[in-house]
Structure 1
């Protein structure tokens, strides 16, 4: 299951899916308010990370999926961690790519966002910058040393989506609610320490939003985590797609095979 970030959609996995689909069945939903999913106005749908996770949970139940491996990126991290906490028995393998759950991983811009959390009305410039065309492009291009790898259609499509009626209200609600994720970090970290799921960290090391310290921090709770810092920004798939796919395929082959053998041995006993 591939869970996307802001302000993207399942389209961000367009280049990754064909490389993984030769071996695995993939689900890449758009969150409500993103991509081609419905975007009901906030009075009709509560745009919180709790609610996004509940919606994804309902999707999994509707598809009768009881076990899955999880890839989380950006907003997909708090949604995915809520799914894990609600149904820990369903998780096989965890893959995080700039999906942060550590205070150490928050870049400099989060101090300004914290001011927005304290008083949204006093800091409209934060949401203005968050939704601006310049900010949308820079989410892709800041930190890259290979700008020629980037397709401008990626952010022009995102800009068009963010310009739709109602998007400012939707994204402002989610940005405000993001503080609940930071508050939940200690609980998520404690769960990882207790359960030790096989975890792959494939992180764009030059991301100014979720900095590289957020990747290496996983080692504090998961000493056996496989951690790779890639020469990429916030959207590593834009320039490190093949490398990411190779890491995922190798990691999942190793750990899912081990899990299958353990389950088989348990059944034979």
Structure 2
């Protein structure tokens, strides 16, 4: 074939777009990789994807899940951003030392994750806070306000108004833990593990049963009852910290996106709306979903995040961490 003909054919395929290309080169930046490292003597597992010279988004998971809960979100964000999603000590693939060897408090979890970010030389980031990830993230933010570039909150509570009815029973456990073992029994039960996903949804068919089966299997491992009981008891320190977190938000005014499963019975929709008092410029979106909103609103939440991040980094320039 005449070289000019070959060249014209190649140019035609390029102009026609990727659907016409014979062998398009796939992008690898959104491919998730899996890592373990030791932080303060504890093995920490984390997922990573995206270009390392792009702005970083740190995804902080909730109870009783792990970074696996972000497995469908990560590839959608990693086409443009560097994404890190760690497992907290006691969760997922990270080590779960006994409470005698590791103090399971939110202060300690936050310190470990903060040390992980420092070890990875990630010193500028957007934090995504969900459930237990919220009190961990707030502690990191208060310790290093200069490192936070933007904030994304998904059913991550910081207001008394956001606490659903079940928290009255948990408050009784805080007041006298030995008198209320039934609270821990219910908290760690299979029914509660399943209900955390399905409560508030009108589309149960989009929820993967493996999610709660795997979470309950994890909670049933030796030592997990002691670990999770310690964290449930320590959660009272988060509620006591709400006023300090709110004051921090009012003072620093980080660019903030709130995406909230509005049918969550644990962290109710009022908790999303309450952010407006301290962050009047925040984007707040109430979604028709429950606590694990990503289970059924993954694409919608990803689109909201990408639009929000584009406003923070309009030219999307490479940014060294």
Deviation string for 1:1-50 (max 9, x for gaps)?
00000000000001100100100111000000000000000010000000
Number of corresponding residues: 261
Q: 2:114 aligns with which of 57, 66, 84?
A: 57
> What's the secondary structure of 2:84's corresponding residue?
coil
Deviation string for 1:228-268 (max 9, x for gaps)?
000000000000000000000000110123898xx9xxxxx
Note the C-alpha offset of 1:61.
0.7
Structure 2 residues without counterparts, runs of 5 or longer:
1-57
Within 5 Å, give how 1:1-269 maps onto structure 2: 1-257=58-314
TM-score, length of structure 1 as denominator length? 0.96
| Alignment RMSD | 1.2
Q: Are the equivalent residues in 1 in contact too, given 2:126–2:150 (CA < 8 A)?
A: yes
1:267 is aligned to none
Structure with the larger helix share: 1
Structure with the larger strand share: 2
Note the C-alpha offset of 1:198.
0.2
Structure 1 residues without counterparts, runs of 5 or longer:
264-269
- Partners of 2:316 and 2:243 in 1: CA distance: 28
- Partners of 1:141 and 1:124 in 2: CA distance: 25
* Largest Rg, 1 or 2: 2
- Partners of 1:56 and 1:86 in 2: CA distance: 12
- Partners of 1:57 and 1:16 in 2: CA distance: 22
Q: Are the equivalent residues in 1 in contact too, given 2:310–2:316 (CA < 8 A)?
A: no
> What's the secondary structure of 1:257's corresponding residue?
coil
TM-score, length of structure 2 as denominator length? 0.80
Which stretches of structure 1, 4 residues or longer, exceed 3 Å deviation after superposition? none
Deviation string for 1:158-182 (max 9, x for gaps)?
0100000000000000000000000
Q: CA 1:150–1:194 in 2, change beyond 3 Å: closer, same or farther?
A: same
- Partners of 1:21 and 1:116 in 2: CA distance: 41
